[in-house]
Chains A and B, each alone.
Chain A
Amino acid sequence: MAPVDRRSFLRAGVLGAGGAFVGGWTLRDVFLDPGKGRFTAGFRSDAPAQLGRYSREADHYETHGDTVRCMLCPHSCLLEEGDRGFCRVRVVKGRRLHTIAYGNACAVHIDPIEKKPFYHFLPQTLIFSLATAGCNLRCLNCQNWEISQAKPEETAASDLMPDRIVEVATAQAIPSVAYTYSEPLIFYEYVKDTALRARARGVRNALVTAGFINPGPLRELLKTIDAVTLDLKAFSNHFYKRISGARLDPVLETIRVIRQEGVWLEVSNLVVPGLSDDPDDVHAFCRWLVEEIGPDQPLHFLRFHPDYRLRHLPSTPVATLEVCREAARAAGLRYVYLGNVPGHEAQNTYCPRDGRLLVQREGYRSDLRGLADGRCVCGERIPGVWA
């Protein structure tokens, strides 16, 4: 090895240290923080060659010269011609942002409303449920990953324009439509147009969402929405970044906005063993809910089953769910439920004043045995949309 003089050594040291610093700082983005601050670039040069029947110009975007910035969700994708957003359904064509998830629902079913879960919203009714491909989260335990982590053109979809949805729902006397299964906020325009038409025909609208959206678009959408089930992944930003590819703060803001807009809200939380079952986090979240929303906010703790990439994790012990439920009640919440646990009494609704059984639930069926006009016989008003 050739001898190195002092000057060369110092030069190498300075350059090396500089390189290590700059490189380390940027490589952190590759390995630890793919979101890189508040910007995401989505998929480069990945837009379909032609826009077809299932595309519309998207709402909520800005142009900066020839680049486009999507303002729908906090990812704020910065895109240029031919790029596709992180959600896989918003593309730039002709310097304009388009959605390609419009009228091409890949999952369409009629479900009991309790399955969503909605326990305080139109119980005992069916709900017309639909989804398109795509999602703006990357949950490692997603149970619908085949649609949420796919592009619209990769899925087998049916032609279902907004008017048709409303026709079917009204023809079958189904009182509400749910935008569910994947993430409805990313097929925003499809939801908005359908909800508008549904409301005009007396059909109500419900979102089943993770709530990762900017407040402005959310407020606009909520004008036509009657109920929301929001799936809070965990009360931990670390969990959101590591497991879901998102952030916690915007979701909390979504909960606040929903309540401010007066839309019925139920919150669910999938308890993943070892990852989101910390009793302190659960308690802190419930305290936050009580303080920000109030003690009448219904909360569902759902049991995790191994799925997608988290297949090597066992199901959540029922006792862990019960601990979560106790923590929530101790924090002051009055309507706390356990889901995915067949036969558990925590599926029922009890009067917080006298403990009377008001709604008995078996599976996805509800029996409103002690509830009349949204009130217990003792006079306690039970929050919800009961008819």
Chain B
Amino acid sequence: MEIEHPLAAESSTPGAVQASRARWVAAAFSLGFCSLATQTAGLREITSAFGGNELVLGVALTVWLVAGGLGSWAGSRTAPGPGLLALSFGASSAAALAPFMAVWAARDFVLPGLGLGLTQMALVSAMAFLLPGALLGGLFAALLPPAATAGLSAARVYAWEAAGALSGGLMILVAQLLAVPLLPAILPALLAQGLAGALVGGPGARGPRAVALVAAAAACTAGIGLHISETRRTSLPPGHNLVERAQSPYGTIEVTEAAGERSWRVDGVPLPAASDAAEREEIVHYAMAQAPGARRVALIGASAAAAAQEVLKYPGAEVDLIEIDPVLVRIARERMGFLLDERVHVHSLDPRGFFGRRQGPYDVIILGASDPLTLSANRLFTSEFFADARASLAAGGVISLALSGSETYLGERYRSLQTSVFRALREVFPETLVLPGRRTVMLGSDRPLTEFVVQAVEARGVPTQYVRREYLEGRFSPERLRMARAWVQAPVPTNRDSRPASLRFSLDAWLAQFGEAATTPLLLAIVVLAMALVLGLKVEDRPISVAIGTTGWVASAAEVAFLFAYQTAAGALCRDVGLLFASFMLGAAAGAALAGRWGLNLVRTEAGLVGFLLLGGGWMQVAPRLGLAGVPAVIASALWLFVSGALGGAEYAAVVARTRGASAAAGRLYAMDLVGAALGALLAGAWLIPRLGLTVTLLTLAAVKVVSASVVVLAPRAPAWVRRAPWAWVAGMVMLFGFAVVVVHPDWYVVLYRFSLDRPYPWAVGFFVLAGLAAALGVRPRLVWSPLWRGLQYIVFSLVVFFPVLRCWFRVPYVFCHACLRPCVFGLVRPYVVWGAAVMNLSAYPWCHHVCPVGLLLRAQPGFPAAPTRAAGRFRAGVFVFVVAAYFVGLYGRDAYERAGTIYHFFLRHSYAASAVVLAVAAGFLVANLRVRPSFCRLACPIGALMDVSRDALAQGKTLPSQRGDLQ
């Protein structure tokens, strides 16, 4: 049903309509402007503070898009008046500061120097993005009805929003190029939101308009204050003083000093310092020892800057250092004292582009890059790069690189990483050598290499501190060299530009350090998929929800793929991301605005997307051979992104046209688009590209689009039952699959238990208990969409309730949880749950009937034609006591306590064992629910039974609203 908007009456005359339309255009533009600025700045801030890689970026982006999807869904269900709209704009202005405050608070909270895993990064992203993302997404959907009354279609609003995002992207790009810190850079977006708030408020809401303006001004002032305090504040390693903090288009660089020694780091990750003799000597001397008489040496990356002095120890040597970031080079010279010798020549260029132009010839090329944990690093470890490097080497020249290693033991993930790089190296160089150490050094050449590197260094007569016989003779024993060679024989693919296998293995190794696998992105993907299903169920014309959801999915995944490709080709994504985002948004704006004029209906855009993705897959094969770099690479990538955005925008306009102007549906479809985009970004970054490579990823996306296009074309001809609920069938399949996994997997309970040990889980339980308490007190915000909220509650509390039901129900009663010796997360969080539930149940049964999954399930049985029975209080108490006693005493006997030693040991012994008895009892309760509703909650569950028994005494027999429905 379309919502009648309070502002509808305001725009009645043609002049007023014209003026009103301009207001909504400005508001939509400002929304896009602020959204992109906040999103991009937030992503940069997260990676600046904690380091980052594509997986982290993918998860953070997903959180943003999910928040936007949630917000726009909520916004499509509300009809805020002009005052509330103006206030919301003001609030979104202030919320744009949230990413900065959240990231800084998180950084101050964690142990200094501690790297964060993906789960923690997802939490930081949630803290940073949930509020602004939801507010900005919600405002978009809330704008649609009043804009429609002013004659501005949803497609036009979308187009203006995209145009605003384009401007936001360009603003960030300029800020990057001018090295303006990000917080001051986004202040214009905050002001714009305030002005937009004043505009949309209209004449009848002077107070809220003024508040919106004041909020924006206050947010700007607070932003400036925060920025100043941040520059003064120390977030440095303890005991370190800040020498300089500089912003470059490629990251945040900090130089610190402690005990007279300087350190430097980029985005929180330390680079080798002057005192790290082993670091700088190993990458230089192993290679130089292989090339007697080497004079021309290329060092790649500023992280090799400290090594230049080692090269210059060789008579006649000259160094070319290739580093794309001029700020980093300046800092290396001015603050770290590196690269000052006149024999060092610095080239501020991308190394791929530099060697792509066949520079040299060099006698030695030394790669200073760290592990290929990011795409920008990985592109220096591919066979394509090695081929360029070989072409720049003189005959007999040597290339040297280093990867994380160990001289003691190398695990499977690092073996895979080393092997994928080694295969790429061996594909290009006929002679290779692997030298073990804390960092494994690999050498490649076209002439034989010697394993006796220490002797060769000694023969050159170069003074060294670490690369000496006294340190290394044990390390380069025949047994260790053999071991190092064996470690690079894993059955894994070669690292290539189009299939970045080393990136995948680096990410696997990185996750393993935090005891994580791909759990976090998987969980996120499940949540997002569930959201997409729920949203799809609500859209009246379901085929169009399939179309827009999958279009959001593939457009976003294709965007990630083209950004990856650009990063591989040019290595300047960090610098140009604003421009490329802007190009995508420009396409989206143009597509949405011009879809009608171009005659693009839904079927044509679907077909266009299939063709685009197939062509894109072909382009990924052709592009590396073209060797695009610099401006041509930017233009090519921007064009692809433009087309991708244009098709997405045109499809949005086409599906909106199918809703015949229903603004609420347009808002929901926008949410669907965002949720699809979240899933696309996550899956493409985390799984598809690292595992399938760019080309196959795009072809897979094309296949998805073929399926959705088929749905669009065939749906009108499908049988009625399919048309009624296509998503329900998909949901059913997913649930069946999940059930099968849980039942068939022999260790499913271990998997669940491990999942529960993730810190976010107890926090989520705590949050939902508090939310339940608030709900019990009558505080139920309208913005919370109740079925979705219940779904989340169900997921979170399912583990708390069902896991113990199946694993320790009646074996460790709730009251003993706090005394249990096991660090069981369920047990440890349950005291909160129990007391929270007790408080909730004081005046009614909100816990039992609205929160607890068992109660929710049993409430789903009202359709049975049986008359419910109210059991007497004493009878219920008797049943409860009998069940508990019978279970323990009957099942184990009295002597079980004595055998166990103590009562705690007894509970430990009898906990966590699968039991057919428990399942039978559960089935019995399910059947009993036909007569006593809900039987389990009121007869057996300690919380429900206790409250039920004591309810008469405590609440004096009042039957309360939420209870009535269940007792009827």
Binding site for B on A (CB under 8 A): 1-2, 4, 8, 11-12, 15-16, 18-20, 22-23, 25-27, 29-31, 34, 36, 39-41, 44-46, 64-67, 78, 80, 106-107, 109-112, 115, 126, 131, 140, 143-147, 149-150, 155-156, 181, 242-243, 273-275, 277, 305-306, 308-315, 317-320, 323, 342-343, 362-365
A-chain residues with CB within 8 Å of residue B514 when the two chains form the complex: 309
Contacts of A143 in B (CB 8 A): 406, 438
Interface stretch among B53-61, B408-416, B541-549, B860-868? Answer: B408-416
Known: A12-B842, A41-B822, A107-B408. A317 touches B258 (CB 8 A): yes
- B821 close to A39 (CB less than 8 A): yes
Residues on the B chain within 8 Å of A111, using CB: 474
Q: Determine whether the beta carbon of B465 is less than 8 Å from that of A342.
A: yes
CA distance A80 to B749 in the complex (A): 16
Which of B18-26, B145-153, B900-908 is the contact stretch?
B900-908
Known: A29-B823, A273-B238, A317-B258. Is A67-B414 also a contact (CB below 8 A)?
Answer: no
The minimal Cβ–Cβ distance linking B834 to chain A, given in whole angstroms, is: 7
Can you spell out 12 A-B residue pairs with CB atoms less than 8 angstroms apart? A8-B842, A26-B828, A27-B828, A41-B822, A126-B474, A144-B409, A274-B238, A305-B438, A312-B115, A312-B265, A342-B471, A365-B470
Pairs A-B, 8 closest by C-beta atoms? A19-B835, A274-B238, A363-B470, A313-B113, A319-B259, A363-B471, A1-B778, A23-B832
Q: Is the CB of B828 within 8 A of A16?
A: no
Flag whether B537 is at the interface (Cβ < 8 A): no
Tell me the bound Cα distance from A20 to B825 in angstroms.
17
State whether B828 touches A29 (Cβ < 8 A).
yes
Please state if A64 and B269 are interface contacts (CB–CB under 8 Å): no
Check B899–A19 contact: CB distance below 8 A: no
For A141, the closest partner residue in chain B by CB is B113
Residues of chain B with a CB closer than 8 A to A147's CB: 408-409, 411
Q: A44-B750, A313-B237, A342-B466 are in contact. Are A110 and B912 (CB under 8 A)?
A: no
Q: How far is the CA of A24 from the CA of B843 in the complex (A)?
A: 24
Query: Chain A residues with Cβ under 8 A from B240's Cβ?
Result: 273-274, 314
Given A11-B842, A39-B821, A155-B411, check contact A318 B835 (CB 8 Å).
no
Report the Cα distance A312→B266, complex, angstroms: 10
In the bound complex, do residue B259 and residue A274 qualify as a contact, i.e. CB atoms below 8 Å apart? no
* Complex partner residue of A308 from B469, B513, B912, CB under 8 angstroms: B513
Q: Could you tell me if B114 and A44 are in contact, using CB atoms closer than 8 angstroms?
A: no
CB-contacts of B84-142 with A (<8 A): 111-115
Contact, CB under 8 Å: B258 / A320:
yes
In the bound complex, CA of A323 to CA of B239 (Å): 14
The size bracket of the interface on B is 35 or more
- Inter-subunit contact B276/A1 (CB<8 Å): no
Interface, chain B (partner A; CB < 8 A): 50-51, 111-115, 237-240, 256, 258-261, 263, 265, 268-270, 273, 275-278, 406-412, 414, 438, 465-466, 468-472, 474, 477, 479-480, 513-515, 747, 749-750, 753, 759, 762, 766, 777-779, 817-818, 821-825, 828-829, 831-832, 834-836, 838-839, 842-843, 899-902, 905-906, 908-909, 912, 954
Rounded to whole Å, the gap between the CB of A36 and the closest CB of chain B is 6
CB B473 to nearest CB in A, in angstroms, measures: 8
Cα A274 to Cα B750 with chains together (Å)? 38
Q: Which residues of B contact A309 (CB under 8 A)?
A: 114-115, 513-514
The answer to whether A23 and B270 touch (CB under 8 A), given A34-B823, A45-B912, A155-B411, is no
- Tell whether, in the assembled complex, residue B832 and residue A41 are in contact, meaning their CB atoms are under 8 Å apart: no
A30 contacts B835, CB within 8 Å? no
Do A44 and B912 touch across chains, with their CB atoms under 8 A apart? Answer: yes
- Tell me, rounded to whole Å, the shortest Cβ–Cβ distance linking A234 to chain B: 13
Q: Contacts A273-B237, A315-B273 given; indicate if A36 touches B408 (C-beta within 8 A).
A: no
B509, chain A: closest CB distance, angstroms: 9
Question: Are A15 and B842 neighbours in the complex by a CB distance under 8 Å?
Answer: yes
- Which chain A residues border B277 with CB–CB below 8 Å? 342-343
- With A146-B411, A309-B114, A343-B465 as known contacts, state yes or no: A44 contacts B470, CB within 8 Å: no
**Distance of A65 Cα from B893 Cα, bound (Å):** 14
Smallest CB separation, A227 vs chain B (Å): 19
In Å, the complex CA distance between A144 and B414 comes to 13
Q: Is the beta-carbon distance between B753 and A275 smaller than 8 angstroms?
A: no
One of B477, B747, B838 near A110 (C-beta < 8 A): B477
A36 lies within 8 A of B823 (CB): yes
Query: Distance (Å) between the CB of A49 and the closest chain B CB?
Result: 9
A310 / chain B contacts, CB cutoff of 8 Å: 111, 113-115
**CB-based contact B823/A311 at 8 Å:** no
Instruction: Collect the chain B residues with CB atoms within 8 Å of residue A1's CB.
Output: 777-779
* Min CB–CB distance A166 → chain B (angstroms): 18
How distant is the Cα of A312 from the Cα of B113 in the complex, in angstroms?
4
How far does the alpha carbon of A212 sit from the alpha carbon of B97 in the complex, in Å? Answer: 47
Chain A's closest residue to B766 (CB) is A27
Report chain B residues within 8 Å CB of A363.
466, 468-472
Nearest-neighbor residue (CB-CB) of A365 within chain B: B470
Query: A residues within 8 A CB of B753?
Result: 44-45
Q: How far is the CB of B475 from chain A (nearest CB, A)?
A: 9
Contact B834 A19 (CB under 8 A): yes
Could you tell me the distance between the alpha carbons of A343 and B275 in the complex, rounded to whole angstroms? 12
- Smallest CB separation, A312 vs chain B (Å): 5
CB neighbours of B472 from chain A (8 A): 363
Of A27, A36, A319, A364, the residue contacting B470 (CB under 8 A) is: A364
| B841 to A, closest residue via Cβ | A15
Q: Are B273 and A107 in contact (CB under 8 A)?
A: no
Which chain B residue lies CB-closest to A148?
B409
19 additional A-B residue pairs with CB within 8 Å, beyond A30-B823, A146-B414, A273-B237: A12-B839, A19-B832, A19-B835, A19-B836, A19-B838, A23-B835, A29-B828, A45-B912, A46-B750, A67-B900, A78-B822, A80-B908, A111-B474, A143-B406, A146-B411, A309-B114, A312-B270, A363-B472, A365-B470
Minimum distance in angstroms from B466 CB to a CB of chain A: 4
A268 to chain B, nearest CB (A): 17
CA distance A45 to B779 in the complex (A): 42
Question: Which of B268, B414, B515, B766 is A312 in contact with, Cβ under 8 Å?
Answer: B268
Q: Across the interface, do B259 and A320 meet the contact criterion of CB distance under 8 Å? A: yes
Cβ–Cβ contact A312 & B258, under 8 A: no
With CB as the reference atom, state the residue of chain A lying closest to B49.
Answer: A312
Q: Which residue of A lies closest to B779 (CB)?
A: A1
* CB-CB under 8 A for A107 and B409, given A19-B838, A64-B900: yes
Could you say which residues of chain A place their CB within 8 Å of the CB of B750? 44-46
- Cβ–Cβ contact B838 & A15, under 8 A: yes
Residue contact A41 to B821, C-beta cutoff 8 Å = yes
Q: A243 to B110, alpha carbons, bound, how many Å? A: 12
Tell me whether A364 and B474 are in contact in the complex, defined as CB-CB below 8 angstroms, given that A26-B818, A144-B406, A317-B275 are known contacts.
yes
- A126 cross-chain contacts in B, Cβ below 8 A: 474
- Report the separation of the CA atoms of residues A112 and B112 in the bound assembly, to the nearest whole angstrom: 34
Q: Which residue of B lies closest to A142 (CB)?
A: B513
Looking at the complex, which one of A22, A110, A318, A362 makes contact with B818 (CB distance below 8 Å)?
A22
